[in-house]
């Protein structure tokens, strides 16, 4: 049995991936340059819910931009929060996680920053952060970590589903959107089935 297979991409999908790859190495556009210092100032010290097969409460610090790049670099530090540290993020007694990372301009909205490679994201919406923190704090001490993670996941989906009814609630794109990239992304998204909300 031949285990090899081919994935067929539409013309729109091929253009999307080509354009996305180009964007990673392009310098900032002239209309993006004035926005960079504003982002560094506004988000320095901001708290977020970080979701990546697990959930953490985090703070972003040391934001900076390297000339010629279309991304923001920053450090992430875990904020101790009862009930969080779920999924793949098992609690580390007496220690909080910290790591350095970056996010590309085209993956940043005012309320959500997403990793290019994995789709993991930082959710900055203050209402969402407060809701997740309060729900997690109310979990029984002996609650299974997997069950707690799934419950938080359902809460996040419910909140973001409600926000989609009002596009303003989802947050605005921080940097000017690349029109072609957005068109191709919308075309691809429309072809994929979306799982029902739990």
Contact 41, 63 (CB under 8 A): no
Structure tokens given for 108: 């940043």
Say whether pTM exceeds 0.95.
Answer: no
Query: How many residues are present in the chain?
Result: 198
DSSP 163-177: HTTSGGGG--BSSPP
**Phi/psi of residue 121, nearest 5 degrees:** -145, 160
Helix (H) or strand (E) holding 134, with range, is helix 126-137
Can you give the pLDDT of all 198 residues of the chain as single tens digits? 444 545 566 776 777 777 777 777 888 888 899 999 999 999 999 999 999 988 999 999 999 999 999 999 999 999 999 988 877 787 777 889 999 999 999 889 999 999 877 889 999 999 999 999 999 999 998 888 889 999 999 999 988 887 665 555 557 889 886 665 666 556 555 554 444 444
The Cβ of residue 71 has, within 10 Å, a number of other Cβ atoms equal to 18
**Phi/psi of residue 169, nearest 5 degrees:** -70, -25
Q: How far apart, in whole angstroms, are the C-alpha atoms of residue 108 and residue 121?
A: 10
CA 54 to each of CA 28, 35, 120, 134: distance values in angstroms, whole numbers, following the listed order: 32, 31, 10, 17
């Amino acid at each position: 049995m031949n285990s090899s297979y081919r994935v067929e991409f539409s013309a729109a999908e091929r253009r999307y991936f080509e354009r996305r790859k180009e964007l990673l190495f392009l310098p900032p556009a002239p209309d993006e340059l004035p926005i960079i210092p504003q982002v560094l100032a506004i988000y320095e010290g901001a708290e977020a819910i970080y979701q990546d097969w697990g959930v953490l409460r985090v703070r972003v610090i040391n934001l900076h931009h390297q000339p010629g790049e279309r991304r923001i670099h920053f450090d992430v530090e875990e904020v101790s929060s009862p009930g969080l540290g779920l999924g793949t993020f098992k609690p580390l007694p007496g220690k909080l996680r910290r790591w350095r990372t970056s996010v590309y301009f085209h993956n940043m909205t005012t309320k959500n920053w997403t990793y290019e490679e994995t789709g993991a994201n930082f959710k900055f919406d203050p209402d969402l952060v407060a809701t997740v923190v309060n729900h997690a704090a109310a979990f029984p001490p002996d609650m299974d970590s997997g069950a707690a993670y799934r419950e938080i996941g359902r809460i996040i989906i419910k909140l973001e589903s409600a926000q989609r009814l009002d596009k303003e609630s989802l947050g605005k794109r921080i940097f000017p959107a690349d029109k072609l990239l957005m068109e191709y992304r919308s075309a691809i998204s429309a072809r994929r089935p979306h799982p029902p909300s739990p």
